[in-house]
A and B are shown apart, each in its own frame.
Chain A
Amino acid sequence: MDILTLLRANIRRKKGTFLGIMFLMILVSSLLTMLFSIKKNVTKSIDDAFIEAKVADVFVDVDSRKVTDDMLASLESHPLVERVRTASALLMDKHYFKGKEDNQSWLIVPLNSVVTRKFTDDFTAYEDSVPVPSENGMYVPQGVATKSGCKVGDEIRFVTRGGEYTLTIEGFIVEPICGSAMIGWKTVFVAPETFEKLVAESDAVDDDTMGRVTVIYLDKKADCGLSDSAFAKRINLDTGVQNYAYSSETKTQMKYYTNLFSEITCSVMIVFAIILAAVVVIIMAHNIAVTIEENYTELGILKAQGFTKGRIRLLYALMYILAQLLGSVIGTILAIPLVWKFGNIFQTVVGIIAPKTIDFSSSIPVLLLIILVSCLMVLLATRRIGKVSPVKALTGERRDVYFDSLLTLPVSGNGLSMSLAYRQFSSNKRRYFVAIIICAVLMFFMLTVNLMGTSMRSKSAMEAMGEIFTEVVVRPKEGIFTEEQMEGMDRIAKETAEVDKTYFYRNEYVTIEESTIMCSFVKNPENIKIVSGRAPLYDNEIVITEILEEELGRSIGDKVTVSRRDDSAEYIITGIFASMSDTGRVFSMGWDAGKKLGVTGFAWYGISLKDDSDADKVGAALEAEYGDAVQVTVNTDFLDEETEMIRLAVDIMRYMIYVFSVIFVLVVVSMICSRVFAQERRDLGIYKAIGFTSGKLRLLFALRFFLVAIIGSAIGAVLSLLFSFKVLNRMLRSMGVTNFVAPYTTETVVIPVVLLVAGFFLFAYLVSRKVKKVEIRELVIE
């Protein structure tokens, strides 16, 4: 009972601290619960959509001309295969929306039972049924709308082997396998009659190009015991089916790609929320230390009255834990409307409506862990209570104040305010230590997230991470380039403008060490961005990414076997290169090496110019010379829609982190200021007595926190220089980034510094308005 009375009194007296901790916990718990819920809901929506569409464990896209009865029979008789299904699809070579060309390969399929969900026009719900589209209509996944901005009624012009067609978008559907805006290739759905017509016209053309595709769906047996990728590998080892595939994916992979963006975004924000939670714990520990200092005499009195050290520590623990518990409960409740409001924030990317249920199963254990850590911190921070001597406390005997002479600078008449502010800071560094740590942590996090955004604005940074940007792209209208075309185009480009680099390349899925991986065949392997080792200059050399190095368990100097259709050859790994293609699961080799696998030429020619304003000129020159045989595309926007979308999301994340950081700074400054104010009330009176105005004293307060913010920002910046790239490599590895590069631009650094420094300065100035209430007469003893 005595504890409860004291607890009530403590809370009343330290209302500001209690409310501050509670408010911070409301922010942390609402953010955590919302993020965990959204993360889980998105994952569940993807899982459900895959189940509903009865997506197979492995699907292999094979040129229909290569599919044989023997191939299918060997798959059906395989002991690990439960079921083999096939479906016919038509390859869409390229398509145009509003005149803009997109070379991503899409598949056209007849509407089938896989499609069970069609969006209403505003994408907020599903229609009751999915009617067959009209003869000139098509359904596309929501990811297409996200990337290109198309809507119902818009027309898409496309090219197949059979010719050029235009169909109207009649609706958007859920296509779980590759409907996400994060995946380049798409499946679009047409009426069965339309499909038959398109297939017939494609089949009527007699050339080497691929028209019809057979998608082979493989389901593993229930007792298979292998992961999807191990199953795919094993099937390929036994049947060689993937050697004939132009792509092969597993269900796990596609779920991973679909969920990748929301996973990374939620994870970054969850890490931020946990950092904020750590900030709360630090503030709490600091507050306890300061309170013990302030209440030294009272603690002595309590001890003299018979309160044990344990009971006093319990008193502290109860107050802070109660604040945290209340904050957690309120925050968790507040998360409910937040999930309703933001639950489908990733729908435009994922292409599936997510449920809006609250997930307590992840947030509550994390919140309890935070509270548990807080309890431990309280126990640690209150150890000093044991050292409080009732006699010393009651007689006012305290330990000497220690001043660090190394950091002390003389108070000067010139710049009096700043030098006094520095003295106030330097003689009580411990008091501001927590603010410096918090400022450093926030600065580090803001800089790290800013670097993510900056890298996506920097062409050179993206190139260093393995992206290839070319202002002019040329593709043959049929088949591959002839050698004469390749030489001629290269010559024209170099004669017309200053060329930085040119690339002839061809990306194709091949089998390396029994796994189907994308291979980039390049004419000029010396242009590959090598991270370690060297470029694959000879016909028996390849380079692989760091991610593939890990996946294959092979490194520089090792030999690997690569198979493509009926050809197979052994290669030596000469280097590690950077590439984000296929989330980093890619390797590369030169043309001569590719010839051993039957690669006869290239289907892409990209020109990177030193001055992108020359792009139109180069495009026109190539068009004039080779316009009959090639398609020239000029694009000086170096970001494609997917990267642009990620950049936008990173920007949103940055702003959210800015807002939360500023709120935290406000609360932290208020709490520290209140403490400092209570401790320095007498000094404030003295300063007023010698002629300082309230305004000048508030300026001193603000300047102190200005110094705190400058020091904290500097520490945060150093931490960023040391660790940001490592953290980002870790965070973005799932996107294929292993060699993160970003310049520290003015914007990257200045915005967080200004936010923190101005935030600390302004909030300290605002919070210190209580200085006005300090009366000089408080100094006088009646």
Chain B
Amino acid sequence: MIQNILTAKDLCKSFAHNGGQVHVLQHIDLEIREKDFTVVMGASGSGKSTLLYALSGMDKATSGQVLFDGKDLVKMKEKELADLRSHDFGFIFQQMHLVSNLTLLENVTVPGYLSHRKTSSEVKKRAEDLLAKMGVSDVMDHRPSQVSGGEQQRCAIARSIIHEPKLLFADEPTGALNRKNTTEVLDLMTDLNRQGQSILMVTHDLRAALRGNRLLYLEDGNVIGELSLPPYEKEEEKSRETQVNAWLSSMKW
């Protein structure tokens, strides 16, 4: 039976602006299911990134609840949130955000060491395996500035899963990549999902959205549409694209 991994209840987020309040998220109720590849889409300014921050605990919601393992992220202290990030959540950013003075391998091992789930040598071994799997083992001793954007993003993916998180958050992971690198990164994420990794991705890239099995559409801070798809298969990409395009059109995208 598929279980919810993350639940948002009556989630609101407002910002002060020009002496007034801008309500970016408005009373959102949402469940993120285990092993799903959930994709959040929406026009610019629809609040999709804000939703990602609120759901991942990167930013505090103004009101409402975000429940993970029965605990409300909104009420968590900094230490609890840090524990959550080092144990249960993983992040992939649009700009990769690797630490420039660490090698690719070290960028991956550091969060592994921090989680204290494995011994140092086990973490290192897993990091090397992951980087090999991502196809960047030959440059793992290089600094981020010495490798391409695609290699950096693959390293960032390895970093995000080194501690075997329960949920992986991805914010426009292909936004800064060229077409070839985009495909490679999406293939990697799809593989991860096939292996049981729960993913919540925010994107406005149709090709990225096709990889999800559950698509949510956000407008003016509300989830206004949802599309369920079978797991992604490359051979069915064309028909999947048509289906998603039709859905997006109905959302007036």
Contacts and interface: CB of A to CB of B under 8 A. Distances in A.
B214 interface: no
Contact of B85 (A423, A427, A689, A782): A689
B232 interface: no
B49 interface: yes
A781 B172 contact: yes
B57 to A, nearest CB: 9
A782 B101 contact: no
Interface in A55-104: none
Contact of A780 (B93, B100, B110): B93
Contacts of A427: 101
B101 A694 contact: no
A459 interface: no
A682 interface: yes
Contact of A414 (B110, B120, B145, B171): B120
B99 interface: yes
Contacts of B83: 691
Nearest to B98: A686
A410 to B, nearest CB: 7
B53 A777 contact: yes
A412 interface: yes
A729 interface: no
A380 interface: no
A782 B106 CA distance: 28
Interface in B72-106: 78-79, 82-87, 91, 93-95, 97-102, 106
Nearest to A684: B99
Contact of A693 (B79, B99, B143): B79
B110 A690 contact: yes
B175 A781 contact: yes
Interface-central residue, A424, A685, A779, by most chain B CB under 10 Å: A779
A691 B97 contact: no
B115 A691 contact: yes
A690 B85 contact: yes
Interface-central residue, A412, A683, A687, A690, by most chain B CB under 10 Å: A690
Interface in B38-67: 44, 49, 52-53, 58-59
B114 A689 contact: no
Interface string A387-423: 0000000000000110100000011111010001001
Given A683-B100, A780-B93, A691 B111 contact: yes
B95 A692 contact: no
B109 interface: yes
B113 A416 contact: yes
Q: Is the interface of B mostly helix, strand, loop or mixed?
A: helix
Contacts of B93: 689, 779-780
A688 interface: yes
Nearest to B144: A401
Interface in A741-782: 772, 775-777, 779-782
Given A775-B59, A780-B49, A780-B171, A403 B94 contact: no
Interface-central residue, A403, A410, A780, by most chain B CB under 10 Å: A780
A583 interface: no
Interface in A673-721: 682-683, 685-696
A686 B97 contact: yes
Interface-central residue, A400, A410, A427, A689, by most chain B CB under 10 Å: A689
Interface size class of chain B, counting residues whose CB lies under 8 Å from the partner chain: 35 or more
Given A691-B85, A777-B53, A777-B59, A411 B109 contact: yes
Contacts of B11: none
Interface residues of A, number: 36
B35 interface: no
B114 to A, nearest CB: 5
Nearest to A410: B106
Contacts of A685: 97
Contacts of B154: none
A781 B112 CA distance: 26
A781 B85 CA distance: 20
Contact of B82 (A414, A682, A693): A693
Contacts of A772: 78
A428 interface: yes
A401 B145 CA distance: 8
B111 to A, nearest CB: 4
A335 B110 CA distance: 52
A686 B99 contact: yes
A692 B82 contact: yes
B114 A428 contact: no
Nearest to A425: B101
Contacts of B211: none
Given A410-B106, A413-B113, A416-B113, A691 B98 contact: no
A682 B93 CA distance: 12
A282 B212 CA distance: 57
A691 B171 CA distance: 17
Contacts of A696: 82
Interface in B207-228: none
A780 to B, nearest CB: 5
Contacts of B59: 775-777
B123 interface: yes
A612 B192 CA distance: 82
B85 A411 contact: no
Nearest to B101: A427
A689 B91 contact: yes
A689 B97 contact: yes
Interface in B126-171: 143, 145, 159, 171
Contacts of A414: 120
A777 B58 contact: yes
A400 B49 CA distance: 32
B53 A420 contact: no
A682 B101 CA distance: 12
A401 B100 contact: yes
B119 interface: yes
B111 A690 contact: yes
B94 A412 contact: no
B106 to A, nearest CB: 5
A696 B78 CA distance: 12
A40 to B, nearest CB: 53
A511 B218 CA distance: 106
Nearest to A411: B106
A411 B102 contact: yes
Given A401-B143, A416-B110, A780-B93, A691 B86 contact: yes
B145 A690 contact: no
B43 to A, nearest CB: 12
Interface-central residue, A424, A687, A693, A775, by most chain B CB under 10 Å: A693
Nearest to A428: B101
A411 B94 contact: no
Given A689-B97, A690-B114, A780-B53, A412 B120 contact: yes
A687 B82 CA distance: 10
B82 A683 contact: no
Given A689-B85, A691-B83, A423 B102 contact: yes
Given A420-B110, A780-B49, A781-B95, A690 B101 contact: no
B110 A411 contact: yes
Contacts of B145: 400-401
A107 B52 CA distance: 93
Contacts of B143: 401, 403
Nearest to A426: B101
B82 A688 contact: yes
Given A694-B78, A780-B53, A413 B106 contact: no
A690 B159 contact: yes
Contacts of B115: 691
Given A682-B97, A685-B97, A777-B59, 11 more contacts: A401-B145, A412-B120, A413-B119, A420-B110, A423-B106, A683-B99, A688-B82, A689-B93, A691-B85, A691-B86, A691-B111
In the complex, the 3 A-B pairs of residues with the closest C-beta atoms, listed nearest first? A691-B86, A413-B120, A427-B101
16 contacts: A401-B143, A410-B106, A416-B113, A420-B110, A685-B97, A686-B98, A687-B99, A689-B58, A690-B86, A693-B78, A693-B79, A694-B78, A776-B59, A777-B59, A779-B93, A780-B52
